Structure 1
Amino acid sequence: MQVAIVLYPGFTSLDVLGPYEVLGRLPDTEVVFVAEKPGLVVNDLKSLSIEAVATPADVTTPDVVLVGGGPGQVEQMSNDALLDWLRTADRTSRWTTAVCTGTFLLAAAGVLEGRRATTHWAGLDQLAGFGAIPSKQRVVVDGHYATAAGVSAGIDMALTLGGLIAGDDVAQTVQLIIEYAPEPPYAAGSLDSAPADVVERARRVLAS
């Protein structure tokens, strides 16, 4: 199975590395980082780079397509070459997936029309403008599309995919290997649980 993970300047690291850590451990799986040009692609914090070894033209029929989010996603929404590749890859993919605001790239490509999907809470309401049906669920599976809410939800989505692709036993084995058993020190991980002042502070940070 080939998993193609899309990179672009300004991607959010955990959006892609969380799913990579899970999907890359599934049996008989090859993960390929894809970007417009081969080479290092820098993240949104400008402090970490991942090397893309292939261009979209090199990866024509991936079994799984994964697009992460990040501030750089806004510019990519007008990248016709990327959007065309997403549409083409989607025709033959077993799964077309996105994490966080990466969902907007799938929506811009037109593949989520009439589909339930999720994204980061700050942009969820905007999905409807692209013909998708916004969902507040952390992970949404609709047909062969899987989308995850913000950043860390990509791990949950990847484990969900792992179960659907390789079986629950395999997915649980991967979960144990990476010791994914979150016990955060705060209950501020969602709009429903975060204190009001924290929500307002987060909105200001995201808008800056």
Structure 2
Amino acid sequence: MAETTAEIVLFDGFDELDAIGPYEVLENGARAGASLETRLVTLTETDLVTASHGLRVEPDGTLGEPDILLVPGGGWTTDGGVRAAVEDGALPTAVGERAATGSTIASVCTGAMVLAEGGVLEGRPATTHAVAKGDLKGYAADVHDARVVDDGDVLTAGGVTAGIDLALWLLEREFGAAIAEAVETEMEHERRVEVVR
């Protein structure tokens, strides 16, 4: 069986926990036996990306054609982060292209706004951080008050810490409950399982 590739796409102003939480979960999943490689990537080559709270991250490379593409949130209510990424348009376009070619697309928090701008959420169930739910409805998404929404090839998570639950759900869905439970135990995290399917 071929190794599953997951890429978490970073941009200036992303929320640290939105990206690093799922990264740690997925990496721990690989250590627990999941055939999974997780990479932190950017759209264009860069040495460092600065997150919303000042953390500077060195990406592993640029966005490829992953099996799973995860988009973090951060900065929807400011001029940077997700707001700037949506206004720029390059990231939403790249996400839409990956969705069209078969990647499973996931978002954490206001990363859902990137998916929406990329045309991925129209008419589909989704969730996001409370501050962006009204805006997400404006994209004709079927917005739910849920921690994680799984619509098959598109998954969305609510605010910040929900990304950990999203990543645990992905491990369970793709690699089995035993791996997800092993990671949950190792990380001493108790999931609030509210997956809407």
Q: Equivalent residue for 1:204?
A: none
2:174 aligned with 1:170: no
Identity, in percent, stands at 39
| Structure 2 counterparts to residues 190-201 of structure 1, below 5 A | none
Deviation at 1:32, TM superposition (A): 1.4
Q: Deviations over 1:90-148 (max 9, x none)?
A: 12345210000000000000011111100001111211111211100111111211111
Q: Equivalent residue for 2:50?
A: 42
Helix, strand or coil: the match of 1:130?
coil
Q: Which one has a bigger Cα radius of gyration?
A: 1
Structure 1: gaps of 5 or more residues? 183-208
Helix, strand or coil: the match of 1:122?
helix
2:40 aligned with 1:33: yes
Alpha-carbon distance in 2 for matches of 1:136, 1:176: 26
Residue range with higher mean Cα deviation, 76-85 or 144-153 = 76-85
Q: Deviations over 1:62-107 (max 9, x none)?
A: 0100000011110000233322211121123452100000000000
Question: Over aligned residues, Cα RMSD in angstroms?
Answer: 1.4
Q: Is the contact between residue 39 and residue 53 of structure 1 (CA under 8 Å) also seen in structure 2?
A: no
Deviation at 1:21, TM superposition (A): 1.0
2:122 aligned with 1:113: yes
Alpha-carbon distance in 2 for matches of 1:31, 1:93: 18
Helix, strand or coil: the match of 2:58?
strand
Helix, strand or coil: the match of 1:101?
helix
Letter in 1 for 2:45: K
2:94 aligned with 1:90: no
Q: Equivalent residue for 1:9?
A: 12
Alpha-carbon distance in 2 for matches of 1:93, 1:33: 20
Deviation at 1:29, TM superposition (A): 1.4
Helix, strand or coil: the match of 1:25?
helix
Structure 1 residue ranges (4+ consecutive) displaced by more than 3 angstroms after TM superposition = none
Helix, strand or coil: the match of 1:107?
helix
Alpha-carbon distance in 2 for matches of 1:91, 1:25: 29
| Structure 2 counterparts to residues 73-88 of structure 1, below 5 A | 73-88=82-97
Q: Is the contact between residue 64 and residue 93 of structure 1 (CA under 8 Å) also seen in structure 2?
A: no
TM normalised by structure 1 equals: 0.81
Structure 2: gaps of 5 or more residues? 76-80, 192-197
